[in-house]
């Protein structure tokens, strides 16, 4: 039947969680998980899968199968990125066991633990969705970009043109960057800035687009980076306490790398934690209010309550987390003492919740996720608890439990992004959460298989398969076992993060901490997007952002991310 | 007072950060704690200043006025959308949404934290719950309109109307209490 406009009018239910969405979600999720997983083993970084899943799913469901449902696309993208969620979670942790040489661990146990970890991450996010998306309305730039893709058919030709044009531009720039190896531009050297000011710019239009979408939420993140390299480092130079060339040579690092890895990053990790703990204390009344509000709505069986997974899933998640982590610890190391097992489980579950909040807040305000730092701290805590057993048992128990925690954290942040997209396209959160559950089992199987196959083929940590994140974790573990933990830096950072968060400005302790934690080249480029957003909002009004800025920024993210995955596929098939 | 407080926090933070990173190993604890204490003074000052500002009668009146006006406008517009939906081409519903709603929704969102200062967190949650659901339902109408699903679009116009009306009713109940 056609309407006045001559277009087909459809009656009946609006397709949302359907078989095509699920099956194609599995296929795309598997493809993306393996590609990104391999990419992170080769190059040491990971890519968020939602935008890619959205655009690929969009092409198949709308383009090839001629299906017409934005919210079905949303379910497809939610499921596919859920499969990929295991990729980031496991690639940070599992390769370290191989690199440390303790390969006689139970692979099936790791897979089961990671599957269960993913489920727990999803359960933990239930009240956070209400607080962070409905009430605090965090930006989630990646969620906005994904929503822009899904809504493109109805947003008008001009917006679609802007999105596609920006995507093409970003794709060309990123492709050129990858082909030539010109990924950073040392503007600081051109201007004659001292090395400690670290004036190297990351060549990435995705970063600019992300900052534009984050808007003012990204300001404090930017501030954190500038404080490090443009205030603290010059002050250290003034006091004559910068590391000497001999110290740099001993450490095998340049000035900027030394400052970041030895000084700023540990303090930044502490700030993330201190900022989060204080932020939680301040936000706890709101979380409790959100839970009460959900309970109240459930009692009267309101329409809204049917949109959410019942809050009892959260309570089951908390109990399940402790049982799961305890079970994983005891199965990984059968002769572990009961007190140690229980302590690992309780601390691990607490860490999943705490880190889940940190990650959701960071990705919600800036799109950058300090997952590796959170994993590092989580595993360090576990090693402290596990130490006293043999090195092998300590490492295996800590990493296996840590991998489950890491997947939980990765799934939680991925789901928050997808829920933001869902909010913007009018999806029902419960259906998205179900799609996330449906996808979370597949990733651990694929990623464990990928790791085992590649380890047998090349050897984890070899020149052909450097696994940089795994190597970093392995070296930290060796340091922790040898008693080398920058505890004073973590604690002082925690104090600073707590101070900033206590000021009451939303997320400021975590954001500034993230600026301390991340490489400055990203922050410099990010600044361009932040300034552009300020400029367009001030001079051209918010309507410009809605009509032109957001589609352009979303296009920049999509174009670069697509080329990133294409490149990783090329690496997979040419290996 | 606010500016002084922010300055103390910034100075305390910068000094603390410097003492935290000046050595490869260890932290100069007395200096670090001194810097932190400076920042804590700023935090206390800012919290006192903010509480005073938030409880100032004219501020509350202005913000609550903005909430009432924007929410009432949204309710009026969604009621009109509901009443005229049968005559409107389903594919045009999303254009009506894009044209009519963003400014009012944005005005409500900007003023929403006044609810916390005036009525407390639970009341804030009680108003935000239906408001957010209403906005999400309106977004669903947009999507269904884009895809031409007429029943879905019409059903969710009604649902969005119910949620926004509920948010306004709760808000007015709080304001009268």
Distances in Å between the Cα of A152 and the Cα atoms of A53, A62, A144, A148 are: 15, 12, 12, 6
When the pLDDT of each residue in chain B is averaged and rounded to a whole number, the result is 90
pLDDT 10s digits, A405-419: 888 888 988 899 999
The pLDDT score that the predictor gives to residue A56 is 78
What share of chain A in percent tops pLDDT 90?
21
Which whole-number Å values give the CA distances from A38 to A65, A82, A238, B100, in the listed order? 30, 17, 44, 47
Select from A495, A500, A543 the residue whose CB has the most chain B CBs within 10 Å, as the one to mutate to test that interface: A495
- Residues (pLDDT < 70) of chain A are 1-6, 39, 42-48, 155-157, 297-303, 367-368, 464, 506, 565, 568-569, 571-573, 575
Residue at token pair 């808007």: A215
Mutate to test the interface with A, among B101, B148, B155, B167 (most CBs of A within 10 A): B148
The confidence score (pLDDT) of residue A157 equals 66
Q: What are phi and psi of A181, to 5 degrees?
A: 80, 5
Chain B residues whose beta carbon lies within 8 Å of the beta carbon of residue A9: 90, 148, 150
Q: Model pTM?
A: 0.81
Comparing alpha-carbon positions, the chain A residue that sits nearest to B38 is: A499
Is A373 within 8 Å of chain B by CB?
A: no
Name the β-bridge partners of A184.
A202
Judge whether A396 and A97 are in contact, CB under 8 Å: yes
Res A15: pLDDT: 93
B139 vs A425: CB contact, 8 Å cut-off? yes
**Does A426 contact chain B (CB < 8 Å)?**
yes
Quote the tokens at residue B171: 């808000």
Tell me the shortest Cα–Cα distance from B58 to chain A, in angstroms: 22
Cβ atoms of A379 and A409 closer than 8 Å: no
In terms of CA atoms, which chain A residue is nearest residue B128? A135
Map residue A49 onto helix, strand or coil: coil
pLDDT band with cut points at 50, 70 and 90 for residue B150: very high
> Over the range A29-54, which residues count as b (16 or more CB within 10 Å of their CB) and which as e?
bbbbbbbbbbbbbbbbebbbbbbbbb
Sign, CA torsion A94/A98/A102/A106? positive
Q: Provide, as residue numbers in chain A, all residues whose Cβ is less than 8 Å from the Cβ of B159.
A: 303
In degrees and rounded to multiples of 5, residue B10 shows phi and psi of: -65, -45
Contact B133 A486 (CB under 8 A): no
pLDDT of residue A9: 87
Q: Which residues pair with A387 in a beta bridge?
A: A389
A-B C-beta contacts closer than 8 Å: 177
Of B16, B89, B148, nearest to A68 by CB-CB distance is: B148
Is B6 buried (19+), middle (13-18) or exposed (0-12) by CB count in 10 A? middle
Identify which of A9, A68, A426 has the shortest CB distance to residue B136: A426
Give me the half-sphere count of Cα atoms (radius 13 Å) on the Cβ side of residue B76.
8
Find out whether A82 and A29 touch, Cβ atoms under 8 Å.
yes
Q: How far apart are CA A48 and CA A38, in angstroms?
A: 14
Q: Which residues of B26-59 are buried (b: 16+ CB within 10 A; e: fewer)?
A: ebbeeebbebbebbbebbebbeebeeeeeeeeee
The model's pLDDT over A308-339, given as tens digits with 9 standing for 90+, comes to 887 777 788 778 878 888 888 888 888 888 88
Give residue A367's region: left, alpha or beta (phi > 0; psi -120 to 50): left
The backbone torsions φ and ψ at residue A137, rounded to the nearest 5 degrees and listed phi first, read: 55, 50
Q: How far A304 CA lies from chain B's nearest CA (Å)?
A: 7
Q: How far is residue A564's CA from residue A570's CA, in Å, rounded to a whole number?
A: 10
DSSP per residue, A265-297: HHHHHHHHHHHHHHHHHHHHHHHHHHHHHHHHH
**A-contacting residues of B 19-48, CB under 8 Å?**
19-27, 32, 36, 39-40, 42-43, 46-47
Full DSSP string of A209-240: HHHHHHGGGGHHHHHHHHIIIIIIHHHHHHHT
Give B 98-127 residues with CB within 8 A of chain A.
102, 106, 109, 121-122, 124-126
Closest CA to A266 of A409, A88, A480: A480
Tell me, yes or no, if B150 comes closer than 8 A to chain A by beta carbon: yes
Chain A residue with the nearest C-alpha to that of B93: A154
- In this structure, the number of other CB atoms found within 10 A of the CB of residue A457 comes to 11
Contact B21 A303 (CB under 8 A): no
User: What is the distance between the alpha carbons of residues B145 and B5, in angstroms, rounded to a whole number?
Assistant: 50
- Which of B78-113 are b and which e, b meaning 16 or more Cβ less than 10 Å from the residue's Cβ? beebeeebeebebbebbebbeebbeebbebbbebbe
Output the six-digit token pair for A506. 């939303």
Residue B50 distance to chain A (closest CA, Å)? 9
What pLDDT does A6 receive?
66
Closest CA to A185 of A487, A525, A540: A525
Q: Cα separation of A403 and A378, whole Å?
A: 10
Distance CA(B10)–CA(A540), nearest Å, equals 32
Tokens of A436: 């996330």
Q: Which of A73, A147, A420, A499 to mutate against chain B (most B CBs within 10 Å)? A: A499
Contact A496, B16 (CB under 8 A): yes
CA distances (Å), origin A318, targets A21, A398, B114: 30, 20, 33
Residue A115: per-residue pLDDT? 87
Ramachandran area for residue A243 (φ above 0: left; ψ -120 to 50: alpha; else beta): beta
């Amino acid at each position: 039947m056609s309407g006045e406009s001559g277009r087909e009018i459809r009656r009946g239910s609006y397709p949302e969680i359907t078989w095509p969405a699920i099956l194609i979600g599995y296929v795309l999720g598997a493809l993306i998980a393996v590609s990104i997983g391999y990419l992170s083993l080769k190059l040491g970084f990971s890519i968020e899968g939602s935008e890619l899943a959205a655009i690929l799913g969009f092409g198949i469901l709308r383009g090839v199968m001629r299906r017409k449902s934005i919210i079905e696309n949303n379910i497809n993208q939610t499921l596919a990125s859920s499969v990929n969620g295991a990729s980031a979670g496991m690639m940070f942790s599992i390769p370290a066991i191989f690199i440390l040489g303790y390969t006689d661990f139970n692979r099936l146990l790791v897979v089961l633990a990671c599957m269960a970890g993913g489920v727990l991450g999803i359960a933990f996010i239930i009240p956070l969705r209400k607080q962070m998306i409905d009430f605090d309305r965090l930006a989630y730039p990646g969620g906005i970009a994904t929503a822009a893709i899904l809504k493109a058919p109805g947003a008008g030709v001009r917006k679609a043109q802007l999105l596609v044009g920006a995507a093409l531009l970003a794709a060309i720039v990123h492709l050129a960057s990858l082909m030539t190896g010109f990924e950073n531009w040392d503007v600081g050297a051109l201007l004659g800035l001292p090395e400690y000011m670290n004036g190297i710019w990351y060549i990435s239009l995705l970063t600019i687009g992300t900052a534009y979408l984050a808007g003012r939420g990204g300001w404090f993140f930017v501030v954190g980076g500038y404080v490090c390299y443009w205030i603290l480092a010059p002050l250290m130079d003034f006091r004559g306490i910068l590391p000497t060339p001999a110290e740099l040579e001993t450490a095998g690092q340049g000035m900027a790398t030394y400052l970041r890895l030895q000084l700023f990053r540990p303090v930044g990790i502490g700030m993330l934690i201190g900022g989060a703990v204080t932020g939680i204390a301040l936000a706890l009344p709101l979380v409790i209010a959100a839970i009460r509000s959900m309970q109240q709505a459930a009692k009267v069986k309101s329409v809204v309550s049917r949109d959410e997974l019942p809050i009892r899933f959260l309570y089951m998640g908390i109990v399940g987390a402790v049982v799961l982590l305890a079970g994983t610890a005891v199965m990984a190391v059968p002769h572990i003492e009961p007190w140690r097992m229980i302590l690992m489980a309780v601390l691990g579950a607490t860490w999943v919740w705490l880190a889940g909040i940190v990650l959701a807040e960071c990705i919600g305000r800036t799109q950058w996720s300090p997952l590796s730092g959170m994993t590092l701290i989580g595993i360090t805590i576990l090693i402290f608890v596990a130490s006293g057993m043999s090195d092998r048992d300590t490492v295996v128990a800590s990493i296996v439990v840590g991998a489950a925690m890491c997947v939980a954290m990765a799934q939680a942040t991925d789901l928050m992004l997808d829920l933001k997209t869902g909010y913007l396209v009018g999806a029902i959160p419960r259906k998205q959460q179900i799609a996330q559950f449906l996808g979370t089992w597949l990733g651990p199987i694929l990623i464990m298989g990928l790791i085992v196959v590649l380890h047998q083929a090349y050897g984890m940590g070899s020149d052909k398969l450097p696994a940089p994140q795994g190597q970093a974790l392995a070296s930290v573990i060796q340091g922790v076992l040898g008693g080398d933990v920058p505890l004073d830096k973590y604690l002082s950072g925690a104090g600073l993060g707590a101070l900033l968060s206590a000021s009451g400005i939303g997320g400021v302790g975590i954001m500034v901490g993230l600026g301390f934690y991340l490489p400055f080249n990203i922050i410099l480029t990010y600044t361009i997007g932040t300034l552009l957003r300020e400029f367009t909002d001030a001079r051209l009004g918010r309507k410009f952002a809605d009509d032109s800025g957001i589609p352009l920024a979303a296009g920049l993210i999509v174009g670069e991310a697509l080329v990133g995955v294409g490149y990783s596929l090329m690496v997979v098939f040419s290996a | 007072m606010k500016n002084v407080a922010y300055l103390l926090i910034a100075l305390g933070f910068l000094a603390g950060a410097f003492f935290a990173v000046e050595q490869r190993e260890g932290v100069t604890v007395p200096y670090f704690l001194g810097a932190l204490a400076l920042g804590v003074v700023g935090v206390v000052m800012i919290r006192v200043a903010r509480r005073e500002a938030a409880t100032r009668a004219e501020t509350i009146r202005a913000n609550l006025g903005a909430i009432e006006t924007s929410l009432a406008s949204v309710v009026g517009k969604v009621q009109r959308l509901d009443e005229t939906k049968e005559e409107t081409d389903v594919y045009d519903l999303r254009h009506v949404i894009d044209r009519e709603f963003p400014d009012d929704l944005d005005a409500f969102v900007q003023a929403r934290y006044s609810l916390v200062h005036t009525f407390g967190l639970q009341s804030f949650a009680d108003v935000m719950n239906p408001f957010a659901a209403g906005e999400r339902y309106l977004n669903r109408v947009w999507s269904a309109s884009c895809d031409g699903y007429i029943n879905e679009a019409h059903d969710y116009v009604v649902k969005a109307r119910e949620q926004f009306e509920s948010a306004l009713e709760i808000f007015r109940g709080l304001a009268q209490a």
